[in-house]
Structure 1
Amino acid sequence: MMNALGKQLAVAGMLVAGAAQALPEVVCRVEMDRDVVFAGQRQTAVVKVTLDAPVVPRREERPPVNLGIVLDRSGSMAGDKIEKARDAAIAALRRLGAQDTFSLVTYSDRIETVVPAQSASNTAWIEQKIRAITTGGNTALFAGVGQGASEVRKNLSRDSVHRLLLLSDGKANSGPSSPEELGRLGTALRKEGISVSTIGVGTDYNEDLMTLMAQNSDGNTYFVESSADLPHIFSKELGDVLSVVASRVVIEVEFPAGIRPIRIIGRDGRVGANTVQVSLNQLYGGQEKYALIEVELPESAEGEVRKVADARCTYQDMLANRSNTTSGQAMVRFSKKPEEVEQSVNIAVGKEVMLNRAVELQAQAIIQADNRDYDQAAETMGRNSAVLMDYADRYNVPELKEEAETYQRQAEEIKLKKVLSPTQRKEMKTRNYEIQNQQQSSLPQKEKKD
């Protein structure tokens, strides 16, 4: 029989082994834009629910990837564009491993499955097929995405990361072509666990269509003015795909009696009488995703402390291959002292609120410019800049100051030239998307244009 010391050593060994096998999990943080609010009056506040995703401990512990590339091969892609696209697709393939699946579909006025879904280890044959891609024809984008999704569906499983990477340099001109139609397709794919990341090349593609498809499927979106940047963009996207730590993410927030949710700032979701639900498809390791919820607080007495929100997040843990849950809550205290309210301001949360509210105004300015009301668009951007600059100066937030200066430059240029160029519009739409979806910038800061 095992003596007492032996039992202790055995238990210690089990604990050490268990600790070695333990994998990091998603953390849910719930914060207010200020921890102290005014007593004796109704008011609004913002709840920020943040999901902090852990870094993948080791490359070999990442989940398998099921990657489908949907490549525009219409006539406008001839020359350097298709050459760089082929190089980028091959570079993406080479970052995958034997456990991963790869497929590639091309579209013009006809759809071709160049690489049926198969192990990414078959690199020589796959690269040969990619190198043989040529250009010609129109742009049947909807059908291309549909066929790409069909290849990804051949290997759908809860333990894999499913991603479509769509590249286009022109407007969809064959088959369904409106942003709403492509947006609905993106929504349907997200329900299957498939995200679509979109890459627009040049200034002729429809950025409204591409951003809506990415948004509705919870993918990324990129504007590539020069095809020379395609390898960098593909590499950046593969970095995200290879670092997914959670999928099928659902944030549910409950509010106690007297706390009324008003709206979600910057994201789509469902707002009920006392609940809010936001769905995300995937979380990337080492990054944070969040939801900002504007709420109305009831009149409360001096010194009273109230719970404002209970947040619960369910997700598929891709590292441990199991369902998991994380939660958090937020509290506020009521005070009649303005200095206490001011001192409790959460500047980090306030920065995100200001950025997302600015995006809403920028979207209005884009619509005004589309309607050729350039003076009104410039006024909206100028007002946006002033609000951001005021907050930046008040709380010393350099990032907001940079955004404010960008908005001001855009306002002055639009007012002077009476035009919103295709490049400007695409940069605005892409930047708005990056902020609202917490997507890291697609190009290094030094390469980004004013």
Structure 2
Amino acid sequence: MSDFVHFTGLFSKNYLPHLPQPQVLYAYFETRPGERQEQARLPLNFSLVLDRSGSMSGQKMKQLREAVKTMISRLEPTDFISVVTFNVHTDVIISATNVRDKEKLESRVNRLEAGGGTSMAPALRAGLAEIAKHLSPEVASRLIVLTDGQTTGEDDCRHEADKIAAAGVPLIALGLGTDWNEDFLLDVAERTGKLGDALLIKKPEDVGLIFEEVFSQMQVVAQNLAFRLLLVQGVEARRVWQVTPLIKDITFGAVKGRTVEFGLPELAESGAAYLVELLIPPRNPGRYRFAQAQVSYHVASRGAAQEARTDLTAEVTTDPNLTRQVNGRVMNIVEKVTAFKLQTQALDDVARQDIANATRKLRTAHTILLDQGETELARNALAEAERLERGESLSSEGRKTIKLSSSKTVRLSDPNAPK
């Protein structure tokens, strides 16, 4: 175990039944900041690109101002921030600056007012220009855009997103309410690479919570993570998922015969986690090492690459009392992945007009989520299943919740997370 990064690997079961046919076993891996690295994050260099069109008036703008000021209050003097606003015009209300005079920055935020239409592309261009002033490998750069509605010139926005990606800057898209196009925002975010993301803000009062989540994901403590899983002869990797900070199937390109390899540009303080579905061939009773996992990474203060590794072993046994034992933490993650798959598959079924299968999958997801205590997501899955059964379409809010909220897992640092 490294002082800079903690890397652990767990099987879903430590004891496998002695069977004449192959059996499924899940391997779960967590990478999180170590004791010496938790306080050593990279300086931030980010731009907030904020919708101030007429629909953002009232409570939305009030909550947005407070969330931005709270974020400013948490920044260090070595951090850089810029704030760009847009309606039909684009204005840079805070040009890229280090955070030394917080009161001055907060006073500028207090002057934010809503009015006018929505034109996002020029604002994305302006946000990148501000980030470019301090862009370097020694800082964690992000472009964060928040909107509550449709924008003109979606193709222009995609073009700007490609430029943002070429600069190596992840884009985090925040959609407030239900009037924006989730497919468009997801596309814009995902064009900027593995760290690009889109999040749903259901209510104005949730703006602060989502900003807190984004802020946590920007606390970069290591870079250039490379994960490698070596499997022994006969063991197969069938599926690979990233599960923290969000669930994503990364099987394609990661599985290379008996090796599983993938990378992550940065490790934030919220950590990263992965789930691998393995197929274990028949084995005689006894203890076996089925895999060895390793992760390499760079820490700015250390220069050379660091490495951590772990062996994964399990015992094949004829004792039914032992084979009934499971790792609750891993199975919790497996269930989350299952619920996510069911909901996303339901969206595909709806697109193909296969309403019966879509309804069945949403109801199954509802049961899994309810068992896990995810009551809001469970309620959403059930409500959308009932809408389909009544011959109605999926609701805008329900579709957004499935696409953007159902992929989020518990944080690795969550004290309530099952062990």
- After superposition, the CA RMSD in angstroms is 3.5
Considering only CA atoms, is the larger Rg found in Structure 1 or Structure 2? Answer: 1
Aligned to 1:354: 335
Distance 2:67 2:374 in 1: 34
Matched, 1:294 2:268: no
What is the CA distance between 1:351 and its match in structure 2?
1.5
Q: Distance in 1 between matches of 2:320 and 2:171?
A: 47
1:94 maps to what in 2? 73
Q: How far 1:359 sits from its partner (Å)?
A: 0.4
How far is the alpha carbon of 1:354 from its aligned partner?
A: 1.7
Equivalent runs, 1:303-318 vs 2, <5 Å: 303-317=285-299
Per the alignment, residue 446 of structure 1 pairs with: none
The letter for the 2-side match of 1:261 is A
Give how far 1:279 is off: 2.7
Whether the 8 Å CA contact 2:377–2:406 is kept in 1: the answer is: no
**Residues of 2 paired with 1:150 and 1:408: CA distance?**
44
Match of 1:205, as an amino acid? W
Post-superposition Cα deviations, 1:231-257, rounded to whole Å, max 9, x if no partner, equal 34324433443x432233222222233
Counterparts of 2:329 and 2:119, CA distance in 1 = 44
Distance 1:57 1:214, change over 3 A: same
**Structure 1 range deviating more: 154-163 or 164-173:** 154-163
The correspondence for 1:198, drawn from 169, 173, 178, is 173
Distance in 1, Cα, partners of 2:385 & 2:393: 11
Partner SS for 2:249:
coil
Q: Give the 3-state SS of the residue equivalent to 2:131 in structure 1.
A: helix
Aligned to 1:260: 236
Whether the aligned pair in 2 keeps the contact of 1:108 and 1:136 (CA below 8 Å) is yes
For residue 245 of structure 2, what is the aligned residue in structure 1? none
Which is worse superposed, 94-103 or 137-146? Answer: 137-146
- SS of residue in 2 equivalent to 1:198: strand
Q: Which residue of 2 aligns with 1:381?
A: 362
Aligned to 1:229: 206
Is 1:411 equivalent to 2:393 in the alignment?
A: no
1:56-103 CA deviation, whole Å, 9 max, x = no partner?
8886x5432212111123343344433432332233222212211111
> Quick one: distance in 2 between partners of 1:349 and 1:231?
31
Gap change, CA 1:93 and 1:210, over 3 Å in 2: same
Q: Which has the higher helix share?
A: 1
Match of 2:349 among 349, 357, 368: 368
Of the three residues 278, 283, 301, the one matched with 2:262 is 278
The structural deviation recorded for 1:41 is 2.0
Once structures 1 and 2 are overlaid, which stretch shifts more, 424-433 or 122-131?
A: 122-131
Describe the SS at the equivalent of 2:363: helix
Matches within 5 A, 1:142-161: 142-161=121-140
Conserved 8 A contact 1:251-1:313: yes
Give the TM-score taking structure 1 as reference length.
0.76
Q: Which letter does structure 2 place at the counterpart of 1:40?
A: P
Give the secondary-structure state (helix, strand or coil) at the position aligned to 2:155.
coil
| Structure 2 Cα separation of the partners of residues 111 and 341 of structure 1 | 62
User: For 2:62 and 2:377, how far apart are their aligned partners in 1?
Assistant: 35
Q: 2:314: which partner in 1?
A: 332
Distance verdict in 2 for CA 1:325–1:64, change over 3 Å: same
> Secondary structure of the residue that 1:360 maps to in structure 2?
helix
Distance 1:83 1:177, change over 3 A: farther
Secondary structure at 1:434's aligned position in 2?
Answer: coil
Identical columns (%): 23
Q: Contact 1:378–1:415 at 8 Å: present in 2 too?
A: yes
Query: How far apart, in 1, do the equivalents of 2:396 and 2:73 lie?
Result: 34
- Residues 386-401 of structure 1 correspond to what in structure 2 (within 5 A)? 398-399=372-373
1:44 aligns with 2:21: no
Following superposition, the deviation at residue 168 of structure 1 comes to 1.0
Q: CA deviation at 1:380?
A: 1.7
Task: Work out the CA distance in 1 between the residues paired with 2:324 and 2:341.
Answer: 26
CA contact (8 A) 1:63 1:160 kept: yes
Q: Distance in 2 between matches of 1:220 and 1:438?
A: 16
Q: 1:139, 1:174 within 8 Å by CA — same for their partners in 2?
A: no
Q: Is the 8 A contact 1:182 1:212 kept in 2?
A: no
| Structure 2 Cα separation of the partners of residues 182 and 379 of structure 1 | 40
Do the aligned partners of 1:187 and 1:217 also contact (CA within 8 Å) in 2? no
Q: Any conservation in 1 of the 2:384–2:395 contact (CA below 8 Å)?
A: no
The 1-side partners of 2:125 and 2:295 are apart by: 31
Write out per-residue CA displacement over residues 3-47 of structure 1, whole angstroms, 9 at most, x where no aligned residue: xxxxxxxxxxxxxxxxxxxx9421111121222334432233222
d(CA) in 1 for partners of 2:413, 2:73 = 23
Q: Which residue of 1 aligns with 2:8?
A: 29
1:360 CA displacement = 0.9
The C-alpha deviation readout for 1:317-359, integer Å capped at 9, x for no partner, is 367676422221212333345443223x222211211210220
List alignment gaps of at least 5 residues for structure 1: 1-22, 393-397, 442-450
Question: By how many angstroms is 1:379 displaced?
Answer: 1.8
CA contact (8 A) 1:29 1:329 kept: no
